[in-house]
């Protein structure tokens, strides 16, 4: 930052003279957005619907009032740009999404956009700029509950949305994504043609601030973390262990094909593998979120003939994900053989892990040092738009802000002091991107 004629050298000594982000602006926006998208219990901002549009309008108005250049792309993503003084042809993006799940919390997504705006607006008003363009990016449709597809907005921005996704129906209205886009005056045909709205090679960095959706920062007593990777997944969403229903008193153990015992054995075997891999320092989560017998057929006096269960494995390390996948296969086969049951895993689904940019991590670690914040790096267990940018070869990074009570619920609780600390770190880090 700095160096151009007539432009204050805001970050010649990074952090020392850069204008403070306008935290008050973000705070006012959080309140207005909460009021305008309240649903009685939490907030609801349907993708390509009323709540999300309301958020986009709020952010656009504030950005323009601060002198930022507004642009809406074919897919409805909003860019508010502080032009750079270096004519580099490159842009640093500070982005996140503005949709929410139904009855969601106020901060998931919005925090990243408001943090970007707090920085760009303050710098614009102070007459500062970076060599590169700095754009606040409000993305559409990150939450996959509205349309059964992830990262719609960021994929549209990069020309990566498969055209068939435009025919997906929104869960509440039944209307297609393309129809909802047309209602908002957007251009689904351009999205279908795969036209990139911003070319990856012109993006210097994509940095996304987001609330943490788990308890790690609360437990560690840290306000903000850098994210080193976004976990990918391997899943059997609809697994079935098939044994044989039989009388609980009449069939000796040797003759049983007990689906519950087999399924439980599979759970404990894989849990032990998790403990072992964790002890080796590998990143992994392993969850059996669904596990049930058939209420139409089960009974206390019957050996269960069927158990339905799901398996969700995540890691930000591709190698660990592959190891865990192979272990799941092996134990499925062994359990089936030992317990005399059949295991139908159903089709596997999954996503690729995304690594955050090492150079950006180093830059932001140094920024943390300069601000007197302790170094803290962690993976993201949930998916984020940063994964789309990283996958497209854009140097990407995420910052997590401490947040109580998880997310995707009305009880998300981010302290404004933590948000301010994270936003200052974002500003300091961005000013240091070479
Ligand atoms: Zn989010």
Domain-terminating residue out of 290, 323, 351: 351
- The reported pLDDT for the residue numbered 203 is 98
The 8-class DSSP code of residue 305 comes to S
14 occurs within a structural domain: no
| Closest to 119 in 3D by CA, of 202, 30, 209, 31 | 209
Q: Are residues 324 and 359 in the same domain?
A: no
Looking at the predicted structure, is the pLDDT value of residue 242 above 60? Answer: yes
- The reported pLDDT for the residue numbered 17 is 61
Q: In angstroms, rounded to a whole number, what is the distance separating the alpha carbons of residues 302 and 251?
A: 10
Q: Cα of 281 to ligand 1 centre, how many Å?
A: 27
Q: Are residues 200 and 347 in the same domain?
A: no
Q: What is the mean pLDDT of residues 211-223?
A: 96
50 occurs within a structural domain: yes
Query: CA-CA distances (angstroms) from residue 173 to 168, 176, 271, 386?
Result: 11, 8, 40, 28
Provide, rounded to the nearest whole percent, the portion of the chain with pLDDT above 90: 91
Q: How confident is the model at residue 407 (pLDDT cuts 50, 70, 90)?
A: confident
Close Cβ partners of 268 (under 8 Å, ≥ 6 residues apart) = none
Q: Cα of 145 to ligand 1 centre, how many Å?
A: 12
- The reported pLDDT for the residue numbered 241 is 98
Q: Cα of 19 to ligand 1 centre, how many Å?
A: 28
Question: Which has the higher per-residue pLDDT, 349 or 402?
Answer: 402
Q: Cα of 367 to ligand 1 centre, how many Å?
A: 24
Q: Cα of 302 to ligand 1 centre, how many Å?
A: 44
Q: Cα of 98 to ligand 1 centre, how many Å?
A: 8
- The reported pLDDT for the residue numbered 2 is 38
Q: What is the mean pLDDT of residues 401-407?
A: 93
Question: In 84-120, which positions are buried (b, 16+ CB within 10 angstroms) versus exposed (e)?
Answer: bbbeeebbbbbbbbbbbbbebbbbbbbbbbbbbbbbb
15 occurs within a structural domain: no
- The reported pLDDT for the residue numbered 327 is 98
Domain-terminating residue out of 317, 351, 385: 351
- The reported pLDDT for the residue numbered 3 is 36
Q: Which residues surround ligand 1, an ion (CB under 5 A)?
A: 108-109
Looking at the predicted structure, is the pLDDT value of residue 428 above 60? Answer: yes
Q: What is the mean pLDDT of residues 16-41?
A: 92
Looking at the predicted structure, is the pLDDT value of residue 12 above 70? Answer: no
Q: Are residues 358 and 293 in the same domain?
A: no
Looking at the predicted structure, is the pLDDT value of residue 420 above 50? Answer: yes
Q: What is the pLDDT of residues 122-159, one digit of tens each?
A: 999 999 999 999 999 999 999 988 998 889 999 999 99
SS3 123: helix
Q: Cα of 86 to ligand 1 centre, how many Å?
A: 32
Q: What is the pLDDT of residues 46-105, one digit of tens each?
A: 999 999 999 999 999 999 999 999 999 999 999 999 999 998 999 999 999 999 999 999
Q: Are residues 192 and 171 in the same domain?
A: yes
Q: Are residues 218 and 362 in the same domain?
A: yes
Give the structural domain span for 290: 233-351
Q: What is the pLDDT of residues 189-198, one digit of tens each?
A: 999 999 999 9
Q: What is the mean pLDDT of residues 380-398?
A: 95
Looking at the predicted structure, is the pLDDT value of residue 6 above 50? Answer: no
Q: Cα of 400 to ligand 1 centre, how many Å?
A: 11
Domain-terminating residue out of 351, 383, 406: 351
73 occurs within a structural domain: yes
| CATH code at position 267 | 3.30.70.360
Q: Cα of 139 to ligand 1 centre, how many Å?
A: 10
- Asked if 383 and 150 touch (Cβ cutoff 8 Å), the reply is yes
Q: Cα of 384 to ligand 1 centre, how many Å?
A: 6
| CATH code at position 60 | 3.40.630.10
Q: Cα of 64 to ligand 1 centre, how many Å?
A: 24
Q: Are residues 342 and 251 in the same domain?
A: yes
Q: Cα of 274 to ligand 1 centre, how many Å?
A: 27
Q: Are residues 52 and 170 in the same domain?
A: yes
- The reported pLDDT for the residue numbered 18 is 74
Q: Cα of 140 to ligand 1 centre, how many Å?
A: 11
Q: Cα of 407 to ligand 1 centre, how many Å?
A: 8
Q: Cα of 143 to ligand 1 centre, how many Å?
A: 7
Q: Cα of 210 to ligand 1 centre, how many Å?
A: 7
118 occurs within a structural domain: yes
Q: Cα of 411 to ligand 1 centre, how many Å?
A: 15
SS3 348: strand
Q: Cα of 97 to ligand 1 centre, how many Å?
A: 6
Q: In angstroms, rounded to a whole number, what is the distance separating the alpha carbons of residues 9 and 272?
A: 56
254 occurs within a structural domain: yes
Q: Cα of 397 to ligand 1 centre, how many Å?
A: 14
Q: What is the mean pLDDT of residues 399-406?
A: 95
Q: Are residues 346 and 268 in the same domain?
A: yes
Q: Are residues 215 and 310 in the same domain?
A: no
Domain count, the chain: 2
Provide, rounded to the nearest whole percent, the portion of the chain with pLDDT above 70: 96
Q: Are residues 174 and 318 in the same domain?
A: no
Looking at the predicted structure, is the pLDDT value of residue 359 above 50? Answer: yes
Mean pLDDT of the chain: 94
Q: In angstroms, rounded to a whole number, what is the distance separating the alpha carbons of residues 38 and 43?
A: 4
Q: Are residues 224 and 243 in the same domain?
A: no
Q: What is the pLDDT of residues 169-178, one digit of tens each?
A: 999 999 999 9
Sign of CA dihedral 384, 390, 394, 399: positive
Q: What is the mean pLDDT of residues 161-171?
A: 96
- Asked if 69 and 77 touch (Cβ cutoff 8 Å), the reply is no
Q: Are residues 196 and 76 in the same domain?
A: yes
Q: How confident is the model at residue 350 (pLDDT cuts 50, 70, 90)?
A: confident
16 occurs within a structural domain: no
- The reported pLDDT for the residue numbered 406 is 87
| Closest to 115 in 3D by CA, of 432, 418, 433 | 418
Close Cβ partners of 47 (under 8 Å, ≥ 6 residues apart) = 99, 140, 141, 142, 143, 146, 147, 152, 170, 180
Q: How confident is the model at residue 120 (pLDDT cuts 50, 70, 90)?
A: very high
Q: In angstroms, rounded to a whole number, what is the distance separating the alpha carbons of residues 397 and 390?
A: 8
Tokens of 143: 């939450």
312 occurs within a structural domain: yes
């Amino acid at each position: 930052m700095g160096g151009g004629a007539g432009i204050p050298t805001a970050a010649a000594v990074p952090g020392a003279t850069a204008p403070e982000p306008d935290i008050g602006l973000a705070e006012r926006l959080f309140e207005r957005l909460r009021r305008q998208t309240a649903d009685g219990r939490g907030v609801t901002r349907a993708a390509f619907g009323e709540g999300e549009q309301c958020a986009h309008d709020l952010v656009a108005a504030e950005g323009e009032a601060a002198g930022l250049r507004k642009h809406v792309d074919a897919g409805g993503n909003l860019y508010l740009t502080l032009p750079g003084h270096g004519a580099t042809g490159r842009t640093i993006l500070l982005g996140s999404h503005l949709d929410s799940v139904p009855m969601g919390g106020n901060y998931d997504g919005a925090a990243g956009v408001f943090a970007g705006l707090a920085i760009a607006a303050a710098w614009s008003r102070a007459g500062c700029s970076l060599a590169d363009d700095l754009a606040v990016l409000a993305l559409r449709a990150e939450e996959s509950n509205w349309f059964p597809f992830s990262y719609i907005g960021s994929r549209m921005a990069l020309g990566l949305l498969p055209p068939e996704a435009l025919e997906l129906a929104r869960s509440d209205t039944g209307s297609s994504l393309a129809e909802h886009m047309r209602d908002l005056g957007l251009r689904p045909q351009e999205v279908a043609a795969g036209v990139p709205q911003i070319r990856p090679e012109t993006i210097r960095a994509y940095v996304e601030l987001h609330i943490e959706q788990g308890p790690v920062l609360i437990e560690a007593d840290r306000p903000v973390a850098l994210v080193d990777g976004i976990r990918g997944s391997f899943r059997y969403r609809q697994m079935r262990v098939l044994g044989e229903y039989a009388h609980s008193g009449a069939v000796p153990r040797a003759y049983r094909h007990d689906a519950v015992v087999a399924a439980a054995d599979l759970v404990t075997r894989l849990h032990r593998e998790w403990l072992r891999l964790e002890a080796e320092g590998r990143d992994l989560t392993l969850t059996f979120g669904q596990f049930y017998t058939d209420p139409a057929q089960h009974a206390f006096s019957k050996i269960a003939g069927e158990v339905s269960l799901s398996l969700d494995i995540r890691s930000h390390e591709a190698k660990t994900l592959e190891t865990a996948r192979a272990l799941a296969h092996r134990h499925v086969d062994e359990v089936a053989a030992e317990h005399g049951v059949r295991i139908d895993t159903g089709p596997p689904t999954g996503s690729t892990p995304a690594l955050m940019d090492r150079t950006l991590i180093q830059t932001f670690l140094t920024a943390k040092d300069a601000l007197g914040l302790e170094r803290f790096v962690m993976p993201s267990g949930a998916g984020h738009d940063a994964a789309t940018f990283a996958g497209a070869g854009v140097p990407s990074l995420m910052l997590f802000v401490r947040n109580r009570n998880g997310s995707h619920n009305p009880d998300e609780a981010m302290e404004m002091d933590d948000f301010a600390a994270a936003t200052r770190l974002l500003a300091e880090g961005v000013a240091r991107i070479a």
